[in-house]
Structure 1
Amino acid sequence: MVTDQPRTVFGDPYRADCPTRRILDRIGDRWTVLIVGVLSDGDARFSQLLRRIDGISQKMLTQTLRGLERDGLVRRTVYPEVPPRVEYALTEAGRTLCEPLHALQDWAIAHLDDITASQEAHDDGLGVGGVR
C-alpha cells in the first residue's frame, strides 16, 4: 500500500510531528524544571510550591502542574479534610527526571561566571573572546 503522506517517525524529536517533541517541550520548560526540583525534596502543597518558586504565577503553576499530572510525572492527592488538603508528588516516572535535571542545574551553576562574562562581552560589542 502506497500513500502520499509522509510516515511519522517516532523517536525523532527533530521532526515536528514526533510525540517526543512534546515530551521535550514539557521537561525543558523552566517551570517544569523548578517544580520537579522542589518535588524531588518531597511532597508539597500548592502554596508551598508557589512560595518556593519565585516568579511563578498561580495560573502558570496550575497549568504546569496539570500538564505534569496529565503526562504522568506528578501525582495530585486530595485528602478528605475540611478544608480539603491537596498535595503534589513526583510519580516513579517523575523521579527519573531528578538526576538529569539536577545535572543541568549543577552545570548552570558551574558555568554561570563564564556565561555571564560572555553575555556581558557580547552586549558590550566585543563578542566571544573579546573579538568582534
Structure 2
Amino acid sequence: MSKKKLNSTNTLNEYYLDERCTLNKVLRIVGKRWVSEILVLIKLDVSRFSNLKESLNGISDNVLSNVLNELVTAKLIEKEIFNEVPLRVEYRITDSGLTLVKVLHELCDWGKANIPYEIRIQPASYTKKVK
C-alpha cells in the first residue's frame, strides 16, 4: 500500500478540513466502501471473518481485512483473537459503533425521503431504461 505525501495539496486540504469540522473525519470513515455494510452485519452478530466474507458479495479478503482493521483503529468494532488451532478471530461492535449504526439508519431514511430515485447515484450498468 502506498503512503500519502504529507505535503501534497490533497493531504493538506484534508488536515485543514478535519481541523475545522469533526464531520469531515466521520465522513472519511463511513464514506469508505463496505464500512456501513460491515458495521450492520457485525451489529447483527455476523462476527467471524469467513461469515462476513460470505455475506458481502464481491469483497476481497484484502479489502475486508483492511476495512476491519480501520474500524478497530476507529474503535467502532473490537477484535478478539482466540488462541486455537485453527486460529479464530471474532469481531464485536462497540457502543460507539452501535450509536453510529443508528445515525447511518437515520441518514438512510432521510435519503429515501428526500432524494428522488431518478437522481440517486447508480453505476451506469444498473440504470434501467424506462419505455
Q: TM-score range by the shorter chain?
A: 0.5 to 0.7
Unaligned ranges ≥5, structure 2: 1-13, 125-131
Q: Secondary structure at the match of 2:34?
A: helix
TM-score with structure 2 length normalisation?
Answer: 0.67
Question: What residue number does 1:56 align with?
Answer: 59
Question: What residue number does 2:100 align with?
Answer: 97
Q: Distance in 1 between matches of 2:52 and 2:105?
A: 18
Q: Distance in 1 between matches of 2:82 and 2:17?
A: 40
Deviation at 1:84, TM superposition (A): 1.3
Q: Percent identity?
A: 34
Q: Secondary structure at the match of 1:96?
A: helix
Question: What residue number does 1:127 align with?
Answer: none
TM-score with structure 1 length normalisation?
Answer: 0.66
Q: Which amino acid aligns with 2:43?
A: S
Determine if the alignment matches structure 1 residue 82 to structure 2 residue 85: yes
Unaligned ranges ≥5, structure 1: 1-12, 124-132
- What CA deviation, in whole Å up to 9, does each residue of 1:49-106 have, x standing for no partner? 1111122211111111111101111100011211111011111111111211122344
Q: Against the structure 1 CA distance between its residues 34 and 73, is the aligned structure 2 distance closer, same or farther, given a 3 Å change threshold?
A: same
The more displaced of 24-33 and 70-79 is 24-33
Q: Secondary structure at the match of 1:77?
A: strand
Question: What residue number does 1:10 align with?
Answer: none
Q: Secondary structure at the match of 2:92?
A: strand
Q: Which amino acid aligns with 2:88?
A: R
Q: Give the count of matched residue pairs.
A: 106
Deviation at 1:31, TM superposition (A): 1.2
Larger Rg: 1
Alignment RMSD (CA, Å): 2.7
Deviation at 1:15, TM superposition (A): 4.2
